[in-house]
């Protein structure tokens, strides 16, 4: 390994764009956020060191022995997170990046591409939630954050047009076209920055743009070491040693790199990433990561030690995992289909570790087809659901998940031939800090679950076992939430003394029901009493009240407190039957 003459950022970005720099399959994916990219550029502008890079030169006669990937240019958090495979047939020597991928990808995206991340207030499956943004530099003023010297922001092109006396947004990628310093000065003149009446701002703009030009075109920023060995085990060892202390390398990515180097018949990186994408589209969508898939591999292959460490991904274990891959993926896929049929998705699962014991059980009984709908599996599904919702509500995987996964696996091995061993699992953890039994106090506390809380749909799935939550169901306020304002409650005849309590309690589960999508749209903000009288057919009213736990009390708004108290009693009774 030798140290090389530093390169300019423009040189490296030009070569990345020409696909002269590639990523080896042992590399993890791009994980940096917008704030990290902005911090990188601020550091560059202030001449802060950004550490040396490590490149791996693969001679053209050896290139075909390895798999390489291209750099991401237009990052999209949902639709474009994975690096495309590189075509290296007939290639010259390849320069692969062993350390520095996050920084180089950030530079490439900032100078040549776009970054689309989800807006926090929009649903993950809404295409409008991911506006494409490019990196801009404000040439007129410093940022409000006094830890930064320059204001870099990812903006849409429309946002970047909103200039004022304190903002002139310069597209950072445009600096690639301003190769000579006189071109920078020409831009300053044409944009009116040089003639700004505020001389301090004119000076700041000149300094900022000139500095950006020097950072990209003049200074040798990219200092790097070059490794030329073609022994993959040696390269992998270097990669692990260099990256294992890095904050941006997840342990799952590190283990995926090990798997990629050791699998013989499959490209582990490609098949695992593709599988993760596939299962996350099941039902209403999940948020399964590579870590859960890799953990499931250890558990489902009956490896004695299932802890997440490099030693457990030895060549022997990886060969076993590769040979069992089809069975492992079917088990996980079927487990998620079952969980989806219970009404669960990324929105209300607090721990993805819950998937692993179900997948293990399905694999242990021979991976039956259509388990989630088979009429012969009704009782088995009931037992699995009881364990699943109890574990979810009790947060048994909230710390040290191996402390649950190993004993549950042993219980399934011993008792699983007669159905999912829910009773034995409950008995095993009784009296511990992972106890699954529900006391009366536990069940009473469930009444404090609120609308939009993760536990609420879990509880409703227990209360509404007849509802096939694979179809569209909404959580509805029986007494409409829009009416719970002091002014409206007063207009409905609610005494002044009750108004504060009404407003404080309308969002709890005692006022929530599951409604199919169309009935919920029809109900909208209609008073509950009026809804029952005018919309629910008279012949179905008794059944409706029973299915939705409607107490036999006055259903006017002024009587909301009694309705809530009596309905909570019915809910508690049902939860006791199901959970105790």
Q: What is the distance between the alpha carbons of residues 124 and 119, in angstroms, rounded to a whole number?
A: 9
What single string gives the DSSP state of each residue in 276-325? HHHHTTSTT-----HHHHHHHHHHHTT-S--SSSGGGG-HHHHHHHHHTH
Q: What angle do CA 410, 415, 416 make, to 5 degrees?
A: 90
For tokens 């089809």, name the residue: 326
Eight-state DSSP code of residue 219: S
Q: What is the distance between the alpha carbons of residues 438 and 446, in angstroms, rounded to a whole number?
A: 10
Q: What is the distance between the alpha carbons of residues 238 and 476, in angstroms, rounded to a whole number?
A: 56
450: helix, strand or coil: strand
**β-bridge pairing 224-227 and 473-477:** unpaired
* Contact residues for 363 (Cβ-Cβ < 8 A; gap 6+): 300, 327, 328, 330, 331
Q: What is the distance between the alpha carbons of residues 78 and 98, in angstroms, rounded to a whole number?
A: 25
Percent of the chain scoring above 70 in pLDDT? 92
Is residue 62 within 8 A of residue 169, CB to CB? The reply is no
The per-residue pLDDT string of the chain (580 residues; one tens digit each, 9 = 90 and over) reads: 667 789 999 999 999 999 989 998 777 788 899 999 999 999 999 999 888 888 888 888 878 777 788 999 999 998 898 899 888 776 688 888 988 889 999 999 999 999 999 988 777 778 888 999 999 999 999 998 888 999 999 999 999 998 899 999 999 999 999 999 999 999 999 989 988 889 999 999 999 999 999 999 999 999 988 888 777 667 766 766 666 544 334 556 666 766 776 787 888 888 998 999 999 999 889 999 888 999 999 999 999 999 877 677 777 888 899 999 999 999 999 999 999 988 788 878 889 999 999 999 999 999 999 999 999 999 999 999 999 999 999 999 888 899 999 999 999 999 999 999 999 999 999 999 899 988 899 999 989 988 877 688 888 888 887 766 555 677 889 999 999 999 999 998 899 999 999 999 999 999 998 887 565 555 677 888 888 888 888 888 898 899 899 999 999 989 999 999 999 999 999 999 888 7
* Contact residues for 390 (Cβ-Cβ < 8 A; gap 6+): 426, 436, 438, 579
Q: What angle do CA 356, 358, 364 make, to 5 degrees?
A: 100
Q: What is the distance between the alpha carbons of residues 418 and 361, in angstroms, rounded to a whole number?
A: 11
Q: What is the distance between the alpha carbons of residues 326 and 324, in angstroms, rounded to a whole number?
A: 6
Q: Report pLDDT digits (tens) over 374-428.
A: 999 999 999 999 999 999 999 998 888 999 999 999 999 999 999 999 999 999 9
Instruction: Kindly report the backbone phi and psi dihedral angles of residue 170, in degrees, each rounded to the nearest multiple of 5, phi listed first.
Output: -105, 125
For the chain, the distance separating the N- and C-terminal CA atoms, rounded to the nearest angstrom, is: 64
Longest dimension (CA), the chain: 86
* Contact residues for 314 (Cβ-Cβ < 8 A; gap 6+): none
Is residue 356 within 8 A of residue 134, CB to CB? The reply is no
* Contact residues for 193 (Cβ-Cβ < 8 A; gap 6+): 139, 140, 168, 187, 202, 205, 206, 209
* Contact residues for 396 (Cβ-Cβ < 8 A; gap 6+): 404, 429, 434, 436
Q: Report pLDDT digits (tens) over 241-255.
A: 666 544 334 556 666
Pair of tokens at residue 566: 């009596």
Tell me the pTM: 0.61
Q: Please state whether 192 falls in left (phi above 0), alpha (psi between -120 and 50) or beta.
A: left
Pair of tokens at residue 45: 């502008």
Is residue 460 within 8 A of residue 575, CB to CB? The reply is no
Pair of tokens at residue 146: 């006094």
**Residue 458: which of 395, 544, 548, 379 has the closest Cα?**
395
Is residue 346 within 8 A of residue 287, CB to CB? The reply is yes
CB atoms near residue 9 (< 10 Å): 23
């Amino acid at each position: 390994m030798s140290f090389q003459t530093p390169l300019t950022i423009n040189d490296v970005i030009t070569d990345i764009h020409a696909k002269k720099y590639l990523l080896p399959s042992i590399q993890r994916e791009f994980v940096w956020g917008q704030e990290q990219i902005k911090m990188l550029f601020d550091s560059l502008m202030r001449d802060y060191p950004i550490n040396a890079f490590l490149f791996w030169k693969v001679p053209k006669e050896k290139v075909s022995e390895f798999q390489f990937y291209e750099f991401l240019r237009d990052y999209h958090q949902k639709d474009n997170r994975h690096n495309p495979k590189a075509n290296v047939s007939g290639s010259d020597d390849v320069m692969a990046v062993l350390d520095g991928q996050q920084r180089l990808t950030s530079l490439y995206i900032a100078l040549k591409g776009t970054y689309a991340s989800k807006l926090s207030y929009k649903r993950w499956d809404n295409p409008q939630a991911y506006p494409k943004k490019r990196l801009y530099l404000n040439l007129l003023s410093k940022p409000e954050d006094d830890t930064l010297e320059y204001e870099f922001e990812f903006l849409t092109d429309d946002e970047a047009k909103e200039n004022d006396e304190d903002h002139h947004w310069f597209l950072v990628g445009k600096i690639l076209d301003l190769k000579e310093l006189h071109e920078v000065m020409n831009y300053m003149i044409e944009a009116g920055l040089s003639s700004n009446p505020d001389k301090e701002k004119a000076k700041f703009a000149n300094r900022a743009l000139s500095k950006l030009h020097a950072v990209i075109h003049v200074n040798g920023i990219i200092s790097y070491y070059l490794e030329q060995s073609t022994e993959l085990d040696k390269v992998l060892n270097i990669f692990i040693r260099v990256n294992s202390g890095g904050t941006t390398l997840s342990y799952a990515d590190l283990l995926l790199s090990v798997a990629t180097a050791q699998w013989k018949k499959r490209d582990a990186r490609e098949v695992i990433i593709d599988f993760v994408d596939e299962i996350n589209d099941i039902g209403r969508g999940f948020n399964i990561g590579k870590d859960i898939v890799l953990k499931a591999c250890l558990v489902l292959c009956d490896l004695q030690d299932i802890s997440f460490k490099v030693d457990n991904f030895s060549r022997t274990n990886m060969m076993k995992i590769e040979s069992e891959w089809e069975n492992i993926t079917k088990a996980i896929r079927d487990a998620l289909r079952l969980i989806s049929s219970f009404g669960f998705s990324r929105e209300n699962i607090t721990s993805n570790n819950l998937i692993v014991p179900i997948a293990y059980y399905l694999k242990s009984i021979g991976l039956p087809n259509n388990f989630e709908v088979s009429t012969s599996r009704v009782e088995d599904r009931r037992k699995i659901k009881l364990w699943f919702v109890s574990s979810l509500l009790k947060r048994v995987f909230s710390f040290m998940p191996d402390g649950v996964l190993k004993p549950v696996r042993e219980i399934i091995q011993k008792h699983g031939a007669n159905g999912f061993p829910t009773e034995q699992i409950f008995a095993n953890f009784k009296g511990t800090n992972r106890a699954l039994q529900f006391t009366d106090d536990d069940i009473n506390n469930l009444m404090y679950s609120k609308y939009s809380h993760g536990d609420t749909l879990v509880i409703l799935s227990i209360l509404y076992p007849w509802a096939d939550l694979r179809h569209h169901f909404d959580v509805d306020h029986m007494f409409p939430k829009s009416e719970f304002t002091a002014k409206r409650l007063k207009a409905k005849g609610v005494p002044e003394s009750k108004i504060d309590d009404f407003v404080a309690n309308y969002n709890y589960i005692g006022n929530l029901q599951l409604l199919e999508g169309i009935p919920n749209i029809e109900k909208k903000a209609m008073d509950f009493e009026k809804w029952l009288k005018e919309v629910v057919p008279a012949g179905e009213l008794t059944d409706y009240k029973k299915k939705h736990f409607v107490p036999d009390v006055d259903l006017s708004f002024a009587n909301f407190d009694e309705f809530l108290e009596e309905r909570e009693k019915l809910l508690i009774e049902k939860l006791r039957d199901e959970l105790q």
